[in-house]
Amino acid sequence: MSSPIKVATASLAGCFGCHMSLLDIDERLIDLVGHIQFDRSPLTDIKKVGPCDLGLIEGGVCNAENVEILKAFRRQCKILVAVGACAINGGVPAMRNQYSLAECLEEAYLHGTGIDNPQIPNDPELPLLLNQVHPIHEVVWIDYFLPGCPPSADTIFTFLDELLSGRPIQFAYQQIHYD
């Protein structure tokens, strides 16, 4: 194997479940260590994405910061992959698309149960929410999709293993599911 490939990862409007699934590949991580070097990722805490061979995006796009991060990833990554249901179709966060943004905020911060001092947060540091949650392919070009909520560790490992070895990417039947 030649020099390690650079990989960046990010969780946008996701729950970090797909990142947990990546860690779930367990002792096979040791096989990957020599072949992969992490750039920006919650695993390294590097904040800015540099030039990478592979970008893995978990979660859909729900706010302005998500859009910026996603566009930065697209600029820097040769291959960009949508990992998991939320990146692919918005997933559970996109269920808010049934309501207006005002309705969502009012329910969460003004009229919901057990709310003390009701007010809609408006600190300038908070990224502005988009009207709807979007799948990431609606914002940038995506090269590959790994479905699942989350994609199983096996699916993620198969993908990385086949990508690293240059084989065509193929999955066993049980490795592809949308739930």
Partner 1 sequence: MTNSFEIDGITVPFSNGQTIMDAALTAGIYIPHLCHNPEFKPHGSCRLCTVLINGRSVAACTTPAGEGIVVENETHELVTQRRLLLKLLFVEGNHTCPGCEKSGACQLQAVAYHCGMLAPEFVHFYPKRSIDASHPDTIIDFNRCILCELCVRASRDSDKKAVFNISGRGIQAHLTIDSPSGKLADSAFNSSDKAARVCPVGAILPKHKGYNIPIGQRLYDQAPISQVGDVAKHQEVADE
d(CA 111, CA 31): 51
Size, binding site for partner 1 by CB under 8 A: 27
Those residues with Cβ within 8 angstroms of residue 59's Cβ, 6 or more apart along the chain or in another chain = 10, 11, 12, 13, 14, 15, 18, 66, 84, 86, 87, 91, 93
Count, residues in the chain? 179
Q: Is 10 in the site for partner 1 (CB under 8 A)?
A: no
Q: Percent helix, strand and coil across the chain, each rounded to 5?
A: 40, 20, 40
Q: Is 149 in the site for partner 1 (CB under 8 A)?
A: yes
**Binder among 135, 156, 158, 160 for partner 1 (CB under 8 A):** 135
**Binder among 26, 30, 45, 98 for partner 1 (CB under 8 A):** 98
Output the DSSP codes for 77-92.
EEEEEEESHHHHH-TG
Q: How far is the CB of 58 from partner 1 (least distance, A)?
A: 13
Those residues with Cβ within 8 angstroms of residue 44's Cβ, 6 or more apart along the chain or in another chain = 38
Q: Is 94 in the site for partner 1 (CB under 8 A)?
A: yes
Q: In terms of CB distance, is 37 or 132 closer to partner 1?
A: 132
Q: How far is the CB of 57 from partner 1 (least distance, A)?
A: 12
Q: Is 85 in the site for partner 1 (CB under 8 A)?
A: yes
Q: Is 137 in the site for partner 1 (CB under 8 A)?
A: yes
**Binder among 68, 103, 107, 138 for partner 1 (CB under 8 A):** 138
**Binder among 14, 55, 59, 91 for partner 1 (CB under 8 A):** 91
